[in-house]
């Protein structure tokens, strides 16, 4: 394995940019590829592996169990956020990074409390404990976080105003995309308006812009960094059985991946990883027209249900070869940790 200290001029450890596309397996990716007028950025990532998403005692995992496996290296039952079956907290990759003085960030296309994202920052018995998950951002203090869900920070049952508490810890609070873009350094807590994270494609390039802004801030750190990017909208489109929306959401997600790949091309001590969450609703491509860029799909498990289908992991950059082959989702944690901490 190529380590960062073997690269001339590289910092100790490798920058990790991890994308999790909820609900995405091959059918979702192929739909986006066919519908896109230009080649997807994902095609720039020639290193490919296959990941199993099963939970500890269930063949079919969910966002929290899969996210916990990647964030902590431990398989758990569904629902819990970075907690083992004895309700003990599991140490996440962001906590390991913090101990080493390594910068970290989280970007969400939807809220900052989503099931696959939460295990990287919080420890709760249930994914629905959103106020507790929001509080974890104040406790863990990632260098930058951008996403929706501001009400869980400012309009809480415990009457705490986490926005003021974040400001006291030297965070800049940004409540719009222009404000996020104008933050070039320091700590950033960026909140996307509810209209931006609504279940529609009115978001434009919001996710790509947020990733670009986060990378600008993290790049200035003295050490390497870990950045998590989560997108839940492909999952929701699959659950709704909306083939066209699956394709459009995949294309939108891919734009943000392109931003990270451009960064990795310029910063050689960086690896970009793109993995799905447990596949959503059993999407199967039954027909299509490549010339007309049309896809016909059916769902074997329609509705808010996941399947145990294995999912791809795409990787690009320094250490990308470590993510090839058939892997358990827990293996991603150990491989990420080794590269990030230069162990």
What is the percentage of the chain residues whose pLDDT exceeds 70?
96
Indicate the burial class of 105 (C-beta count within 10 angstroms; 0-12, 13-18, 19 or more).
Answer: buried
E strand or H helix at 330:
helix 329-341
> Maximum distance among all alpha carbons in the chain?
56
At 36-65, the pLDDT tens digits run: 999 999 999 999 999 999 999 999 999 999
- Listed as own residue / partner, the contacts of 292-298 with beta carbons closer than 8 Å and 24 or more positions apart are 293/34, 293/35, 293/36, 293/37, 294/34, 294/35, 295/30, 295/31, 295/34, 295/35, 295/243, 295/247, 296/243, 297/27, 297/31, 297/243, 297/246
User: In tens digits, what is the pLDDT along the chain, a chain of 343 residues?
Assistant: 334 344 333 446 899 999 999 999 999 999 999 999 999 999 999 999 999 999 999 999 999 999 999 999 999 999 999 999 899 999 999 999 999 999 999 999 999 999 999 999 999 999 889 999 999 999 999 999 999 999 999 999 999 999 999 999 999 999 999 999 999 899 999 999 888 887 677 788 999 999 999 999 999 987 899 999 999 999 999 999 999 999 999 999 999 999 999 999 999 899 999 999 999 999 999 999 999 999 999 999 999 999 999 999 999 999 999 999 999 999 999 999 999 998 8
What does the alpha-carbon distance between residue 75 and residue 118 come to, in Å, rounded to a whole number?
15
Q: 106: phi > 0 → left, psi -120 to 50 → alpha, else beta; which?
A: beta
- Listed as own residue / partner, the contacts of 322-328 with beta carbons closer than 8 Å and 24 or more positions apart are 322/1, 323/47, 323/49, 323/273, 324/47, 324/48, 324/49, 325/49, 325/50, 326/49, 326/50, 326/52, 327/49, 327/50, 327/51, 327/52, 328/51, 328/52, 328/69, 328/75
Residue carrying the six token digits 């939460």: 118
Single pTM value for the model: 0.95
Written as six digits, the tokens of 140 are: 């863990």
Domain boundaries, the chain: 11-293+307-331
What does the alpha-carbon distance between residue 180 and residue 189 come to, in Å, rounded to a whole number?
8
CB 314 within 8 A of CB 18: no
- Cα–Cα distance list, 37 to 40, 43, 239 (Å): 9, 14, 25
Q: Name the fold adopted by 11-293+307-331.
A: Alkaline Phosphatase, subunit A (3.40.720)
């Amino acid at each position: 394995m190529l380590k960062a200290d073997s690269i001339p001029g590289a910092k100790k450890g490798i920058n990790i940019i991890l994308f999790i596309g909820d609900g995405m397996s091959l059918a979702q990716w192929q739909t986006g590829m066919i519908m896109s007028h230009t080649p997807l950025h994902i095609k720039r990532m020639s290193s490919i592996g296959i990941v199993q998403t099963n939970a500890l005692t269930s063949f079919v995992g969910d966002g929290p169990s899969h996210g916990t496996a990647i964030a902590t290296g431990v398989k758990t039952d569904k629902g819990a956020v970075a907690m083992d079956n004895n309700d003990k907290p599991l140490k996440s990759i962001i906590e390991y990074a913090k101990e080493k003085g390594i910068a970290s960030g989280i970007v969400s296309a939807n809220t900052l409390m989503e099931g696959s994202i939460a295990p990287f920052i919080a420890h709760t018995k249930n994914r629905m404990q959103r106020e507790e998950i929001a509080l974890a951002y104040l406790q863990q203090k990632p260098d930058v976080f951008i996403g929706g869900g501001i009400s869980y920070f400012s309009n809480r049952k415990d009457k705490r105003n986490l926005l003021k508490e974040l400001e006291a810890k030297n965070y800049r609070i940004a409540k719009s995309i222009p404000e996020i873009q104008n933050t070039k350094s320091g700590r950033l807590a960026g909140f996307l308006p509810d209209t931006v994270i609504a279940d529609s494609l009115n978001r434009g390039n919001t996710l790509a812009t947020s990733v670009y802004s986060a990378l600008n801030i993290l790049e200035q750190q003295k050490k390497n960094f870990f950045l998590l990017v989560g997108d839940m909208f492909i999952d929701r489109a699959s659950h709704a059985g909306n083939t066209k929306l699956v394709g459009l959401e995949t294309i939108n997600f891919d734009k943000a991946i392109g931003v990270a790949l451009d960064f990795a091309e310029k910063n050689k001590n960086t690896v970009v990883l793109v993995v799905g969450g447990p596949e959503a609703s059993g999407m199967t491509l039954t027909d299509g027209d490549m010339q007309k860029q049309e896809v016909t799909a059916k769902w074997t498990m329609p509705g808010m249900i996941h399947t145990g289908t294995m999912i791809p992991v795409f990787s690009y950059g320094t250490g990308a070869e470590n993510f090839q082959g058939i892997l358990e989702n827990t293996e991603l944690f150990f491989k990420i940790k080794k590269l990030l901490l230069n162990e």
